[in-house]
Structure 1
């Protein structure tokens, strides 16, 4: 599952244009997605920090 989050097309849409409909949908979705939570928790702390800054995560 973790490889799916890293290659997610919706995530790529967000990266390309955060204000696009699919980009905003992806950003909303990661708040509760169990796959994203598993992916994020499995990352090394430095990568977590980078994603937290990039995506405005807490």
Structure 2
């Protein structure tokens, strides 16, 4: 199970949907990604893996 978490989490940094959100948050794909991170276990693990400063930046950007 831990390996699965690492795999999911490693994809969050370079997620295609995340890039779509960064390019245009109001696009269909941007909104889909925003909805997805609300329940994605990989995203939650990814946030936990970051140091507090980086986590705060990510939350401010995507909250």
Q: What is the Cα deviation at residue 3 of structure 1?
A: 2.1
Aligned to 1:44: 51
**SS of 2:42 mapped into structure 1:** helix
Provide the aligned length of Structure 1 versus Structure 2.
Answer: 56
Q: Which has the higher contact order (CA 8 A, sep 6+)?
A: 2
**SS of 1:19 mapped into structure 2:** coil
TM-score by length of 1: 0.91
Backbone CA RMSD of aligned residues: 0.7
Q: Flag structure 1 segments of 5+ consecutive residues without an equivalent.
A: none
Aligned to 1:54: 61
TM-score by length of 2: 0.84
**SS of 2:39 mapped into structure 1:** coil
Q: Flag structure 2 segments of 5+ consecutive residues without an equivalent.
A: 1-6
**SS of 2:61 mapped into structure 1:** helix
